[in-house]
Amino acid sequence: MNALDAVATPPRGRPLATIDLDRTLIYSAAAIAEGAPDNAAAAALSATARCVEIYDGRPQSFMSPAAMALLSELVGVAEVVPTTTRTMEQYRRITLPIGTPRFAITSNGGNILVDGVPDVAWSRRVADLLGTLAVGVDAVFERLEADAAGAPWLRTMRIADGLFCYVVVELDLLPPQVVPAWASWAAERGWNVSRQGRKIYVMPDPVTKQLAVDEVTTRLVNRPSSSYAAGDGVLDQPMLVGADAAIRPRHGELEELGWRHSNVAVTEGRGLAASEEMLTWLLTRAGTMVDADEPDKSALAPQMLGAGDEVLRSSTIDRSIPNEGLR
Ligand SMILES: [Mg+2]
């Protein structure tokens, strides 16, 4: 190879795996039960689940032992980037079994943590982007407060990391016109509204998880050979679509919406089983679980889902990993 070739073909780094946290990688006790077929199964899953987050002195989030082992294995072969809408403070409550990752994305892309420390240059870039919008986060909060302050359906509302707003509501009491009114108000001002369970987010349009994923990609010494993503929510959509291939669980917001995309596989299982399945899928794509006698890589090509397509087949899953939850 001559010098010109070397310039034309820079070395490729390890695959990139960007993974949403809540209801993708980690699960509340309620989410564990929701993914189980019956009460006995839910109790069995809860009994073996490992706590990865304590909040107010109580266990808050869990992973299955198998998922923890799979995640540790994945870190050995891919650049794993936890990618969450949580604020930095909320993210730091979580103890993943992988130490402090080189990069983590919090605040829905608003912050990039490098070795656990928020990156100042990225924060400046995000502030510049927010500055281009018709209204700032304080004005958004005031608009929400105009409806929410003192309302019986309001549990709490916050400005998160100075970047976006979220409102936690009692869904049973929430008048149906509130969220659509916020959505149309926000859309005219460069913001967007989405709901995940009882949490309603109002986010700035220009800042997404994918924007931060693009930034992380440019910062890796060697550009990743490929990129994969996993996530369950509407706020994960740009990241799922932006990856070379992605997977989402058969639960959560995107499942409730029936969202399908040709680039995004869907698990067979739900709950903790789905988390194990997604990690197995990521390991498979990272190339480590291809059997030596596998005829060719096309046999492992993602079962991309178009409308009516079949779900991810069990043939893509290496049975050498003990993983009862996969079925
Ligand atoms: Mg999620």
Query: What is the 19 CA–ligand 1 centroid distance (Å)?
Result: 9
Share of the chain above pLDDT 90, in %: 77
82-121 confidence digits (pLDDT tens): 999 999 999 999 999 999 999 999 999 999 999 999 999 9
| pLDDT attached to residue 6 | 53
CA of 10 to the centre of ligand 1 (A): 34
The residue ranges of every structural domain in the chain are 14-125+208-326, 135-204
Q: By C-alpha distance, which of 320, 313, 310 is closest to 290? A: 320
Q: What is the pLDDT of residue 4?
A: 54
So what's the pLDDT on residue 3? 55
How far is the centre of ligand 1, averaged over its atoms, from the C-alpha of 324 (Å)? 23
What is the reported pLDDT for 136? 96
Ligand 1 centre from 234 Cα, in Å?
9
Question: How many angstroms separate the alpha carbon of residue 193 from the centre of ligand 1?
Answer: 16
Burial class (CB within 10 angstroms; exposed 0-12, middle 13-18, buried 19+) of 30: exposed
Å from CA of 293 to ligand 1 middle: 36
Q: How many A from CA of 55 to the centre of ligand 1?
A: 18
pLDDT at 2 over 80: no
CA of 23 to the centre of ligand 1 (A): 5
CA distance 235 to 187: 15
Check residue 295 and give its pLDDT: 37
What was the pLDDT predicted at 57? 93
The predicted pLDDT at position 325 comes to 20
In whole angstroms, how far apart are CA 24 and each of 113, 155, 162, 184?
A: 20, 25, 25, 29
- The per-residue pLDDT for range 209-258, each reduced to its tens digit, is 999 999 999 999 888 989 999 999 999 999 999 999 999 999 999 999 99
CB 170: neighbour CB atoms within 10 A?
12
Give the Å distance between the CA of 267 and the centre of ligand 1.
15
pLDDT in tens, 256-293: 999 999 999 999 999 999 999 999 999 999 875 444 33
Could you tell me the distance, in angstroms and rounded to a whole number, from the CA of residue 128 to the centre of ligand 1? 27
Cα 249 to ligand 1 centroid, rounded to whole Å:
10
Q: How far is the CA of 230 from the centre of ligand 1 (A)?
A: 9
Q: Kindly indicate whether the domain formed by 135-204 is annotated with CATH number 3.90.1070.
A: yes
For residue 22, the CA-to-ligand 1 centroid distance in Å is 4
Would residue 265 be called left, alpha or beta, if left means φ above 0 and alpha means ψ between -120 and 50 degrees?
beta
Classify 107 as helix, strand or coil.
Answer: helix
Q: Which residue has the higher pLDDT, 146 or 6?
A: 146
pLDDT at 10: 67
- Please provide the DSSP assignment of 218-287 as one string: HHSSS-BS-EEEE--SGGGHHHHHHSSEEEE-SSSHHHHTT--BTTEEE-SS-HHHHHHHHHHHHHHHTT
Name which CATH class applies to 14-125+208-326: alpha beta
Average pLDDT over residues 141-170: 97
Average pLDDT in the 10-17 region? Answer: 86
Asked whether residue 311 carries a pLDDT value surpassing 50, the answer given is no
The per-residue pLDDT for 5 is 54
Position 55 pLDDT exceeds 50: yes
Ligand 1: centre distance to CA 7 (Å): 39
